Structure 1
Amino acid sequence: MSSRRPTVSANIAVAYLRVSTDDQKLGLDAQRAMVASWAGGEGVSVVAWFTDELSGGLDLTDRPSLLAALAALRAEGAGVLIVAKRDRLARDVVGAALVERAAASVGARVQSATGEGNGDSPADAFMRTVIDGAAQYERALIRGRTKAALAAKRAKGERAGTVPYGYAADADGRLTPDAGEQAVIAAVRDLRAAGTTLRGVVAALAAREMVSRAGTHFGLTQVARIAAAS
């Protein structure tokens, strides 16, 4: 069996878009417009679009649309995985490197519509590392500021934001554990500890007929939030 990489074209691209609740500076419409503008200027045909509404800090295995985009590179013979900005790829250095290696394994490369670090020179490689590190740092700052703000509210006896998942609020705003939601949290924690992916957790909760506050099956984003807070 041949181990040669499949033939790919630099004029064919697969697009990947990403938004998350903790980072909404660049919406999906804006990202799509940036990618389309880049493709038009470069004479590249975007043959498939994939979107994740998840944190860029999640493991690659927990980002289904990104995995699908990487698979589409081979299926479509695409030589480019295009993102609007490099921080849409990942919010940490290791995650970005893993995506780049996955693309390279099928003969493709990651490109940014804004052009940062798109070249092959050592300076471009260094720029990509700097950008990925800055994205990781910014994500840590956002999370730190959020935690500090919530802590300050709690110190004043104020309820911070909406009623947190796993609890119910009485008429005076006091929180008490909600048995049903606590059971979901425990299930998510145990499944993740056993190595189950977020998609696997979603399926397991559905199989156990565990539902959200709205009475619907849990989605990937909801499960990711519960797992992050557990």
Structure 2
Amino acid sequence: MQLVAYIRVSTTRQQASGLGLEAQQEAVDRFAALSGAQVLNTFTEVESGSVNQRPELGKALDLCRRTKATLLIARLDRLSRSLAFIAQLLESGVDVRCCDMPEANRLLLQLLAVFAEHERQLIRDRTRAALASAKARGVKLGSHGAVLAAEHKQGAERYALTLVQAVEEARREGVVAIRPLSAWLNQRGIPSRDGGRWHPTSVSRLLSRLSANHT
């Protein structure tokens, strides 16, 4: 079986931080390994789930049609929480599989899409209620998120410094490029900051942090 993977994150901030990307990539890799399938290409989109115009998804679907491959996503809600959009996708003639529910058929995917859209509305309602409550208490919205972002950045920088010797050893062995370095780190069982596997995106951020600390 041939697969074309599609990964989506909602914001440019998530793309820069790698939040969600690595987990989805690991799910894709695990699905392909267990099913003995070949991943022809992986397309990554940075777009809100409420937006139906997605260039990278269009490229993924085009490749699926040309190669008769299956579109693979980590989770159904990574496609969209819009019932109309998923229904249209399922009618595109491309077979769709979900890593979190590989046994799902077309009917089940449509039913799950209904629940996904319902969940989206519930999230909106809870968010509005929480913001209104916080504003009524005089809370300055956005300040807590800034503090968390700063703490995350400091933690990532501290972890990067613990890997200086490993990166230097890899370079002495001639491993310099990002993709080979990610494989080198994984082969030696060195975990990424979140405890998972290394990918080109996470290695790129690691090298950027190390470079910043040496300037």
TM-score of the pair, normalised by structure 1: 0.53
Q: Do the aligned partners of 1:12 and 1:80 also contact (CA within 8 Å) in 2? A: yes
Matches within 5 A, 1:7-156: 11-20=1-10, 27-59=20-52, 61=53, 63-75=54-66, 77-102=67-92, 104=93, 108-115=94-101, 118-119=104-105, 125=107, 127-156=108-137
Identical aligned residues as a percent: 36
SS of the counterpart of 1:13?
strand
SS of the counterpart of 1:49?
strand
Paired with 2:26 and 2:142, the residues of 1 have a C-alpha distance of: 33
Paired with 1:156 and 1:91, the residues of 2 have a C-alpha distance of: 32
Deviating beyond 4 angstroms after TM superposition, the runs of 4 or more aligned structure 1 residues are: none
Paired with 1:58 and 1:110, the residues of 2 have a C-alpha distance of: 19
Paired with 1:157 and 1:41, the residues of 2 have a C-alpha distance of: 52
Question: Given residue 101 of structure 2, which amino acid in structure 1 is its aligned partner?
Answer: G
Paired with 1:15 and 1:36, the residues of 2 have a C-alpha distance of: 9
Give the gaps of 5 or more residues in structure 2: 144-215
The structure with the greater share of residues assigned to helix is 2
- Deviation per CA, 1:120-165, whole angstroms, max 9, x where unpaired? xxxx61x222211111111111111111122223334443226xxx
The structure with the greater share of residues assigned to strand is 1
Give the gaps of 5 or more residues in structure 1: 1-10, 163-230
Size of the aligned set, in residue pairs, is 137
SS of the counterpart of 1:144?
helix
Paired with 1:96 and 1:115, the residues of 2 have a C-alpha distance of: 16
Paired with 2:36 and 2:102, the residues of 1 have a C-alpha distance of: 19
RMSD, aligned α-carbons? 2.2
SS of the counterpart of 1:38?
helix
Question: Given residue 89 of structure 1, which amino acid in structure 2 is its aligned partner?
Answer: L
- Deviation per CA, 1:93-140, whole angstroms, max 9, x where unpaired? 1111112222x1xxx300111235533xxxx61x22221111111111
